[in-house]
Chains A and B, each alone.
Chain A
């Protein structure tokens, strides 16, 4: 059984068909990529899968359960995490607090426990603290635990965002253009980091990326979409030679 199975996904925004009949399958422990020119509908796919949009048609099955129509926080609680193209960290909270909040969906105490500082509250907070420190340690962010994200360099902010996503123990991690805005040295580091996360956390990763260097060296399987339609699927090598893909990216004259 595949981890994520998308069939016949169609999304219309008024008269605009952002996605038409998109299908995709992601196996357990796969590292796959989704590429396509600007405006092709890649982020729309992620937004639907993570629950921000309700698809016009089609079904998404994650981990054996149908998830279309669920709220994003419900999807997250089922074991899917994602990062954003433009970093969305909570800037007036420390890095540690940012990571801590990723455990929110599994909080087992409520308002009264928090106010009365019950034993359940103390145990839960302690477990969250331990988990958050652990993730920071793994992601080599311990020294920045008390910093505010906005004071960190861009590359580190990306890493904090990834750490926050991983703190929720996801089975599937969606990365939306993780290399956007990074310089080439940072990109090298990012590639190492993603591969290492993939091996260390034993998770599946699905990423959108523009930089060919990143997808070619990380992904074993790629899907290419353009104008909301899948135009090619296969290994990076096959994709590189596919005439449809070359046409989509470079225009007819390139052939």
Chain B
């Protein structure tokens, strides 16, 4: 029983969260922030597979999120709504909550396919070169999406709100929060289980010594493709969730800035540590939101104490000075991130008594 404590804890936490949202005790803003926290967690944990465990430097993760977002949006619009693009709905609207996982899986598969396309030519490159290839891939994906007029081009694509509305018609619960929690759970489970199997440890082997990995019978090319596909597939999942939470997608939301956010979360948390990256994703999302309130407050304080010129207002723009500054300080004093490549259970061994994670 004790060994399942942490699983039960998470279950209770998730149920409480959904319950609170259902009872209307969380306002819409808080709910949205929590949902985005979950999406960022999926995005960061998936990137961690390539940048942390495999030790490669992929800089274009936003591109795969973009593929997932569009694929998921198109699928759900085609499945459940009458649209100009796809004609009549494929399934009855009452089925929406039950078939929505198909949308998420489809989005993941589409992104994984793009991951494969990017992985194939980047075999013989590592390090900086792979970084450049992935940045290029990020740009290519965005340009492709922006130039397909049928899916909105640069104007973006919408219609997912209707699908979420259909789900709410069937049962009035905070669907997107629920799907995000399920998605996050699935994502962590997939990566944890992969990395504790001999099959997945091949990824760490390739990371640490590719020559030894190859000579010990590991097909390093296949391992790299597999890791890249899983990673981009999960990023696609986060993209599909993102699109449905917003109800609108635009390719520019997944540009190099999004990819950078992912990198920041991974390096903040510690490469190759699932719990570290989760912590970092939560902290990063919170930091961005907290600054929204801290900056006006700081503005008032500085004006009251006369430290700031009367005619200058401290705007939200300063967020992008403060966050990078925090990053610089962190990299200066703790370059390995919160947890380095260790998990929480290594840092606090006593936690282990409370956990089975199989």
Contact = CB atoms under 8 A, between A and B. Distances in A.
Contacts of B198: 100-101, 103-104, 107, 124-125, 128
Q: Which among B197, B198, B214, B230 has the greatest number of chain A C-beta atoms within 10 A?
A: B198
A114 B215 contact: no
Interface stretch (B13-21, B201-209, B261-269): B201-209
B28 interface: no
**Which range holds the interface residue count of chain B?**
20 to 34
B220 interface: yes
Interface in A144-200: 164, 168
Contacts of A91: 208
Interface string B37-79: 0000000000000000000000000000000000000000000
Contact of B202 (A71, A101, A168): A101
A111 B204 CA distance: 15
Interface string B177-194: 000000000000110011
Interface in A112-163: 113-115, 117, 121, 124-125, 128
Given A117-B358, A125-B197, A72 B189 contact: no
Interface residues of A, number: 38
B217 A102 contact: yes
A22 interface: no
Q: Pick the 4 closest A-B CB pairs, nearest first.
A: A105-B217, A88-B212, A76-B217, A114-B197
Interface string A188-229: 000000000000000000000000000000000000000000
A111 B199 contact: yes
Interface in A20-44: none
Interface string B293-329: 0000000000000000000000000000000000000
Contacts of A106: 217
B134 interface: no
B194 A111 contact: yes
Contacts of A115: 189-190, 193-194
B252 interface: no
Interface of A: 50, 52, 71-73, 76-77, 81-82, 84, 88-93, 97, 100-107, 109-111, 113-115, 117, 121, 124-125, 128, 164, 168
Q: Which among B199, B212, B214, B216 has the greatest number of chain A C-beta atoms within 10 A?
A: B216
Contact of A92 (B200, B204, B217): B204
B193 A117 contact: yes
A174 to B, nearest CB: 10
Nearest to A99: B216
Contacts of B199: 104, 107, 109-111, 113-114
A212 B341 CA distance: 43
Given A114-B194, A125-B198, A73 B208 contact: no
B220 A104 contact: no
A90 B341 CA distance: 14
B220 A90 contact: no
Contacts of B194: 111, 114-115
Contacts of A128: 198
Given A76-B217, A84-B212, A114-B194, A100 B201 contact: yes
